[in-house]
Amino acid sequence: MQAASHNVKKIALELGGKNPNIVFADADFTTAVDQALNAVFFHAGQVCSAGSRLLVEESIHDAFVEALVERTKRIKLGNGFDESTQCGPLISEEHRAKVEQYVEIGQKEGATLAVGGQRPDVPELQDGFFYLPTIFTNCTSDMRIVQEEVFGPVLTVETFQSKEEAVKLANNTIYGLAGAVWTEDLDKAEFVAAHLRLGTVWINDFHPYFAQAPWGGYKQSGIGRELGHEGMAEYTEVKHIYRNKQPEAIQWFK
């Protein structure tokens, strides 16, 4: 943005995110658990729209976390060319060190490490930049691991008791890229979706992208849009042309 300012170039910026994944008690439990895993651990969390903030209704929190942890332990790390691999490495040694630093920060902040939080000890993974899928519970919105983009396989879990509280927690971030809400109550889903300050909101899904739909964020997740008609408009300049079919003298300056 600074580089473009000296000659006023038009730009669009698609930046980072700290994306909420909101699960209500009336959601399809098994599907929501499965999608929560995919939301955060797909590409080892190296996705701008990763669902790295899980907000679970308090009444199902314990059961939901238990199911998440049990399945997270079974995620197979490995080479991306191996068809049995479910989660690959991080992009570099430097980035893995950054992820490890955030895990340390989370523990110091008082979050509970439920699973992961270290490099794998499997011999064949020692030459890659692998890191175990990690889940933190007992998280609060003032923690750095909740507010800052880790861009790795790290999930934070918070709880809420009402749709209003869920919206408040989800919006409590400098980012506003994407997020999801899981519920069988359409009215509740529409309420939450309408009040989330996000460029994209998925209802009962996570990570679907469409060429026909605009993509971009609010707040510090960027400006402008990609994809869809709005994305095409980013490459156009509007011109106004007026034609008077019956011109006549004004006679102001007689």
| Dist. CA 22–CA 165, nearest whole Å | 11
Place of tokens 């999801």: 180
| Dist. CA 96–CA 132, nearest whole Å | 11
Amino acid making up residue 238 = V
Place of tokens 């998925």: 202
Q: Please identify every residue annotated as catalytic.
A: 14, 48
| Dist. CA 172–CA 47, nearest whole Å | 20
Closest of 157, 84, 95, 107 to residue 131, by C-alpha: 95
Burial of residue 188 (CB within 10 Å: 0-12, 13-18, 19+) is middle
Amino acid making up residue 252 = W
Q: Read out DSSP for 127-177?
A: TTT----EEEES--TTSHHHHS---SSEEEEEEESSHHHHHHHHH-SSEES
The two counts, helices (H) then strands (E), for the chain are 8, 11
Place of tokens 């797909």: 42
Q: Tell me, what DSSP letter sits at residue 88? A: -
